[in-house]
Amino acid sequence: MNPVDLDEIRRVHEEADCLCDATEVDAALHRLASDITARLHDRNPLIYAVMNGGLVLAGRLLPRLPFPLELSYLHATRYGHALQGNLLDWRVRPTQDLRERTVLVLDDILDEGHTLAAIIDYLKAEGAREVVSAVLVHKTHERKAYPGMRADFTGLDVADRFLFGSGMDYKGYWRNAAGIYALKGH
């Protein structure tokens, strides 16, 4: 295992292009909360934060939701580059009874969307009445799991670059950056 080069980690942040500053992210969180509240305020939703990036979104978004909800988390990654969206490596599976529940899945970013699509399919197969998704960032490109794929709730549309900050990471770092940054040259 190679040791982390903290000078590189710091330099990446210093040289990065800020695509959305903290004020823009905060405004996006406000819009997300308003939209989610309008749709789910009376549905007793079960909210799943997708680890690890969804943790930051959940921590910043949930205090803005003024209605009763349950919170849990799940952790799943796709097997390699498989094309089937339901081939997941579950690190932590959902543990709550999903039957007849409205479920909201929170994640930091919708890039290609294969993992998010597979998580949603799994939750539906486990009996959830309704599964909706919210992401802070929708990466704009045409390589989605299926044509036109979008989350039900989206905070910001951002360029197709290597992003970090606001839950997204660079080599495990900078999830804590308040804005959304693009790696210089990527």
Sequence-separated (6 or more) residues with CB below 8 Å from residue 111: 139
> What is the rounded distance in angstroms from the CA atom of residue 93 to the CA atom of residue 19?
34
Domain 23-159: give its CATH code.
Answer: 3.40.50.2020
Is 130 in contact with 143 (CB distance < 8 Å)? Answer: no
Task: Please write the tens of the pLDDT for every residue from 19-78.
Answer: 999 999 999 999 999 999 999 999 999 999 999 999 999 999 999 999 999 999 999 876
pTM, 2 dp: 0.92
Q: What kind and span of H or E run contains 28?
A: helix 22-40
